[in-house]
Amino acid sequence: MALREIVTLPEPVLRRKAKPITKFDKNLQTLIDDMIDTMRDAPGVGLAAPQVDVSEQLIVVEYSEDDEDEEDVEGKPPKPKKLYVMVNPEIVKTSEEKVLGVEGCLSIPGIQGEVERFEAIQVKGLNRHGKPLKLKLHGWMARIFQHEIDHLNGVLFTDLATRLWKFQQEEEHEL
């Protein structure tokens, strides 16, 4: 397993629609493992293949609902993070309710923005071995998946943001 370089704007791969994956071979498994290591090293909560210069429909997400309020509960061990690998993900159902939230992106360092996203979604795709996978997601997990799936369509959070700003180094550390 190896760390891969995370490409940043204006790299053209970030604006391209990624190709569906059809071969579940050793190369794909290596890409998945590399993406997980790269996401963790960054550190980030999600990563799409175009962000490591591979125009294929693959995302990895690792998050725990406790991440957002870990400091609120002293002495309670945080829930373990759950790792998701999804090949050819597709949003098949959305809630009517949308919520505004702050997002950033490993491919657009130093910028944050407010983005309106669906509060809940249903996503279908394949796991790393080509088996069907269907997830019902809400809250921040739904936001992360929407953000990563957008990458597969050449859409960046800055395209959707109602407001953008640069953030300072100390803010980045807190995130």
User: DSSP assignment of 36-105, as one string?
Assistant: HHHHHHTT-SEEEGGGGT--BSEEEEEE-GGGGGGGGSTTSPPPPPEEEEEEEEEEEEE-S-EEEEEEE-
Residue 3 is inside which H or E element, if any? Answer: none
Q: Which of 148, 171, 172, 174 is catalytic?
A: 148
Query: Could you say which DSSP state residue 19 is in?
Result: B
148 belongs to the catalytic site: yes
Q: What does the alpha-carbon distance between residue 97 and residue 37 come to, in Å, rounded to a whole number? A: 34
Active site residues: 148
